[in-house]
Amino acid sequence: MARIIHLVRHGHHALLGRTLCGRMSGVTLDDVGCEEIARCAVNVGPRPSLIQSSPQRRCMQSASILAARFGLPIEIVPALDELDYGEWTGRSFKELNKDPQWWRWNSRRGSTRPPGGESMRSLQNRIVHHLEQLRSDPLADSVIAISHAEPIRAALLHYARMRLDDFLSIKIDPSSVSTLTADRRGFRITGINQRVPA
Protein backbone atom coordinates (compact mmCIF):
# COMPACT_ATOMS: atom_id res chain seq x y z
CA MET A 1 0.00 0.00 0.00
CA ALA A 2 1.00 3.64 -0.41
CA ARG A 3 2.79 4.48 2.82
CA ILE A 4 3.73 8.05 1.91
CA ILE A 5 2.05 10.56 -0.37
CA HIS A 6 3.74 13.89 -0.98
CA LEU A 7 1.21 16.50 -2.11
CA VAL A 8 3.22 19.04 -4.10
CA ARG A 9 1.80 22.35 -5.27
CA HIS A 10 2.94 23.40 -8.74
CA GLY A 11 5.66 26.04 -9.09
CA HIS A 12 5.33 29.79 -9.44
CA HIS A 13 3.84 31.36 -12.59
CA ALA A 14 3.49 34.95 -13.80
CA LEU A 15 -0.24 35.24 -12.99
CA LEU A 16 0.06 33.98 -9.42
CA GLY A 17 -1.62 36.32 -6.93
CA ARG A 18 -3.12 38.47 -9.71
CA THR A 19 -5.52 36.22 -11.63
CA LEU A 20 -7.79 33.37 -10.57
CA CYS A 21 -6.44 30.94 -13.14
CA GLY A 22 -8.34 27.81 -12.15
CA ARG A 23 -8.52 25.64 -15.26
CA MET A 24 -7.44 28.39 -17.69
CA SER A 25 -5.35 27.03 -20.52
CA GLY A 26 -1.83 28.23 -21.25
CA VAL A 27 -0.69 28.95 -17.67
CA THR A 28 2.96 27.91 -17.48
CA LEU A 29 5.74 28.03 -14.92
CA ASP A 30 8.15 30.95 -15.00
CA ASP A 31 11.90 30.62 -14.30
CA VAL A 32 11.31 31.06 -10.55
CA GLY A 33 8.76 28.25 -10.57
CA CYS A 34 11.11 25.88 -12.40
CA GLU A 35 13.93 26.58 -9.95
CA GLU A 36 11.64 26.17 -6.90
CA ILE A 37 10.28 22.82 -8.08
CA ALA A 38 13.78 21.51 -8.74
CA ARG A 39 14.73 22.43 -5.15
CA CYS A 40 11.61 20.87 -3.62
CA ALA A 41 12.89 17.37 -4.53
CA VAL A 42 15.03 17.68 -1.38
CA ASN A 43 11.84 17.39 0.72
CA VAL A 44 10.77 14.16 -0.96
CA GLY A 45 11.86 10.90 0.61
CA PRO A 46 12.05 8.00 0.30
CA ARG A 47 12.54 7.85 -3.46
CA PRO A 48 9.07 7.89 -5.09
CA SER A 49 7.72 4.88 -6.95
CA LEU A 50 5.03 6.93 -8.72
CA ILE A 51 4.57 10.52 -9.91
CA GLN A 52 1.07 11.79 -10.64
CA SER A 53 -0.07 15.18 -11.91
CA SER A 54 -3.12 17.34 -12.38
CA PRO A 55 -3.94 17.81 -16.09
CA GLN A 56 -3.12 21.54 -15.89
CA ARG A 57 0.01 22.61 -17.78
CA ARG A 58 1.72 24.21 -14.76
CA CYS A 59 1.41 20.93 -12.84
CA MET A 60 2.60 18.81 -15.76
CA GLN A 61 5.66 21.06 -16.11
CA SER A 62 6.34 20.68 -12.38
CA ALA A 63 5.89 16.91 -12.67
CA SER A 64 8.31 16.78 -15.60
CA ILE A 65 11.04 18.43 -13.55
CA LEU A 66 10.59 15.95 -10.70
CA ALA A 67 10.19 13.00 -13.07
CA ALA A 68 13.53 13.84 -14.68
CA ARG A 69 15.12 14.03 -11.21
CA PHE A 70 13.80 10.60 -10.17
CA GLY A 71 13.76 8.87 -13.58
CA LEU A 72 10.03 8.11 -13.50
CA PRO A 73 7.12 8.51 -15.94
CA ILE A 74 4.18 10.82 -15.17
CA GLU A 75 0.59 9.68 -14.75
CA ILE A 76 -2.03 12.37 -15.46
CA VAL A 77 -4.87 12.13 -12.91
CA PRO A 78 -8.10 14.21 -13.29
CA ALA A 79 -8.83 13.81 -9.54
CA LEU A 80 -5.82 16.07 -8.85
CA ASP A 81 -7.21 18.87 -11.07
CA GLU A 82 -7.79 22.40 -9.81
CA LEU A 83 -11.18 23.46 -8.50
CA ASP A 84 -13.50 24.45 -11.34
CA TYR A 85 -14.13 28.14 -10.65
CA GLY A 86 -16.85 28.43 -13.29
CA GLU A 87 -17.60 32.05 -14.25
CA TRP A 88 -14.77 33.35 -12.05
CA THR A 89 -12.07 31.57 -14.09
CA GLY A 90 -9.58 34.05 -15.51
CA ARG A 91 -10.85 37.06 -13.53
CA SER A 92 -8.43 39.26 -11.61
CA PHE A 93 -8.49 39.19 -7.83
CA LYS A 94 -8.88 42.98 -7.93
CA GLU A 95 -12.14 42.51 -9.82
CA LEU A 96 -13.30 39.59 -7.68
CA ASN A 97 -12.77 41.58 -4.47
CA LYS A 98 -15.67 43.83 -5.56
CA ASP A 99 -18.04 40.85 -5.89
CA PRO A 100 -20.16 40.09 -2.76
CA GLN A 101 -20.58 36.50 -3.94
CA TRP A 102 -16.79 36.07 -3.86
CA TRP A 103 -16.68 37.23 -0.23
CA ARG A 104 -19.62 34.98 0.70
CA TRP A 105 -17.93 31.95 -0.88
CA ASN A 106 -14.66 32.65 0.93
CA SER A 107 -16.41 32.81 4.29
CA ARG A 108 -18.58 29.71 3.70
CA ARG A 109 -16.54 27.31 1.59
CA GLY A 110 -18.39 24.31 3.02
CA SER A 111 -21.84 25.37 1.81
CA THR A 112 -21.44 27.59 -1.28
CA ARG A 113 -19.81 27.32 -4.71
CA PRO A 114 -18.47 29.61 -7.45
CA PRO A 115 -21.15 30.54 -10.03
CA GLY A 116 -21.27 27.72 -12.56
CA GLY A 117 -18.37 26.00 -10.79
CA GLU A 118 -17.51 23.19 -8.41
CA SER A 119 -18.13 23.13 -4.67
CA MET A 120 -15.28 22.61 -2.22
CA ARG A 121 -17.19 19.59 -0.89
CA SER A 122 -17.17 18.00 -4.35
CA LEU A 123 -13.47 18.81 -4.73
CA GLN A 124 -12.71 17.30 -1.34
CA ASN A 125 -14.66 14.14 -2.15
CA ARG A 126 -12.78 13.54 -5.41
CA ILE A 127 -9.29 14.17 -4.01
CA VAL A 128 -9.86 12.10 -0.85
CA HIS A 129 -11.37 9.25 -2.88
CA HIS A 130 -8.26 9.22 -5.07
CA LEU A 131 -5.87 9.31 -2.10
CA GLU A 132 -7.71 6.43 -0.43
CA GLN A 133 -7.42 4.41 -3.64
CA LEU A 134 -3.68 5.11 -3.66
CA ARG A 135 -3.40 3.99 -0.04
CA SER A 136 -4.59 0.51 -1.02
CA ASP A 137 -2.46 0.29 -4.20
CA PRO A 138 0.27 -2.33 -3.63
CA LEU A 139 2.47 -0.81 -6.36
CA ALA A 140 2.40 2.75 -4.99
CA ASP A 141 4.75 2.68 -2.02
CA SER A 142 5.81 6.35 -2.14
CA VAL A 143 3.92 8.81 -4.33
CA ILE A 144 4.39 12.38 -5.49
CA ALA A 145 1.02 13.92 -6.39
CA ILE A 146 1.34 17.34 -8.02
CA SER A 147 -1.75 19.49 -7.69
CA HIS A 148 -3.01 22.95 -6.70
CA ALA A 149 -3.53 24.84 -3.44
CA GLU A 150 -7.27 24.13 -3.11
CA PRO A 151 -7.19 20.34 -3.67
CA ILE A 152 -4.23 20.03 -1.31
CA ARG A 153 -5.98 22.17 1.33
CA ALA A 154 -9.19 20.14 0.93
CA ALA A 155 -7.28 16.89 1.50
CA LEU A 156 -5.41 18.22 4.53
CA LEU A 157 -8.61 19.60 6.07
CA HIS A 158 -10.20 16.17 5.70
CA TYR A 159 -7.32 14.31 7.35
CA ALA A 160 -7.02 16.96 10.06
CA ARG A 161 -10.78 16.58 10.69
CA MET A 162 -11.29 20.31 10.16
CA ARG A 163 -14.18 22.13 8.49
CA LEU A 164 -13.95 23.34 4.90
CA ASP A 165 -14.81 26.82 6.20
CA ASP A 166 -11.39 26.77 7.93
CA PHE A 167 -9.55 26.54 4.59
CA LEU A 168 -7.51 29.72 5.20
CA SER A 169 -5.94 28.20 8.30
CA ILE A 170 -3.77 26.03 6.03
CA LYS A 171 -1.22 27.80 3.86
CA ILE A 172 -0.04 26.05 0.69
CA ASP A 173 2.75 27.91 -1.11
CA PRO A 174 3.95 27.26 -4.66
CA SER A 175 6.46 24.37 -4.80
CA SER A 176 5.60 23.32 -1.25
CA VAL A 177 5.40 19.72 -0.08
CA SER A 178 2.72 18.45 2.31
CA THR A 179 3.00 14.83 3.38
CA LEU A 180 0.52 12.11 4.33
CA THR A 181 1.82 8.94 5.96
CA ALA A 182 -0.30 5.80 6.22
CA ASP A 183 -0.67 3.39 9.09
CA ARG A 184 -3.29 0.71 9.77
CA ARG A 185 -5.89 3.31 10.71
CA GLY A 186 -5.42 5.49 7.61
CA PHE A 187 -3.48 8.61 6.70
CA ARG A 188 -2.02 11.05 9.16
CA ILE A 189 -0.47 14.39 8.27
CA THR A 190 3.30 14.41 8.81
CA GLY A 191 4.20 17.64 7.00
CA ILE A 192 2.47 20.79 5.78
CA ASN A 193 3.74 23.43 3.35
CA GLN A 194 7.42 22.47 3.54
CA ARG A 195 9.71 24.48 1.29
CA VAL A 196 13.41 24.56 0.51
CA PRO A 197 14.82 28.12 0.71
CA ALA A 198 16.82 29.48 -2.20
**Tens digit of each residue's pLDDT (9 = 90 or more) over 24-33:** 999 999 999 9
Sign of the CA dihedral with 161 first, then 136, 118, and 67 last: positive
**Tens digit of each residue's pLDDT (9 = 90 or more) over 131-155:** 999 988 877 789 999 999 999 999 9
Q: Give the pLDDT of residue 130.
A: 96
Confidence of residue 190 (pLDDT cuts 50, 70, 90): very high
pTM given for the model = 0.94
Cβ atoms 63, 146 nearer than 8 A: yes
Domains of the chain from N-terminus onward: 4-194 (3.40.50.1240)
> Average pLDDT in the 50-79 region?
96
131 three-state secondary structure: helix
Q: What's the CA gap between 5 and 103, in Å, rounded?
A: 33
**Least confident range of 34-38, 53-57, 136-140, 172-176:** 136-140
Is the peptide bond prior to 48 cis by the omega test (within 30 degrees of 0)? no
Cβ atoms 179, 6 nearer than 8 A: yes
> Average pLDDT in the 70-84 region?
97
